[in-house]
Copies of this chain bind each other. A is one copy, B any other.
Amino acid sequence: MKRVVLAASLFAGLALLYVPVPASADDDDVVDYRRHLMSALNEHAAALGQILSGAAPDADAAVHIEAIALTASVALKAFEAKVPGGQSRPEVWSNWADFSKRMNEFASETADVAKLAQTKGNDAALASAAGALTCKGCHDVYRQEKK
């Protein structure tokens, strides 16, 4: 009898192994942080889009360009921990070489535009900003649309 109970406990234990483990608090933190970074980028890019279309003041261009460059400089690091979730597709990690190359390009191109804003002013920076903000190219491959 004792042996049966033991076996049953063992099976119960094994069965537990198959229960999908909910994301830990730490994993939630990682996903939340990525979301804050990407949403901040999104808001600054939308503001810049308004400036480019004449719907918001040109004088604010450098603010958004610099905020984008700053945020882009830490964005890749936030994806290094392989924590699926949020709007990230699994391809972020299965195509890591391509994903990280593109994120590094994004960081370096936006840093160049921010430098242009500081040295040559808003008009010069705005002329290059659209070229550096090719968000869609990556989002099409690596971002899941919200359901």
Residues facing B in A47-62 (CB within 8 A) are 47, 50, 55-57, 59-60
Q: Which of A33-41, A91-99, A120-128, A131-139 contacts B (4 or more CB under 8 A)?
A: A33-41
A44 contacts chain B at the CB level, 8 A cutoff: yes
Assembly stoichiometry (copies): 2
Interface residues of A (CB under 8 A from B): 26, 29, 32-33, 36-37, 39-40, 43-44, 46-47, 50, 55-57, 59-60, 63, 66-67, 70-71, 73-74, 77
- Across the A-B interface, the 10 shortest Cβ-Cβ residue pairs: A40-B43, A29-B55, A67-B67, A36-B47, A33-B56, A39-B43, A63-B70, A60-B74, A36-B43, A36-B46
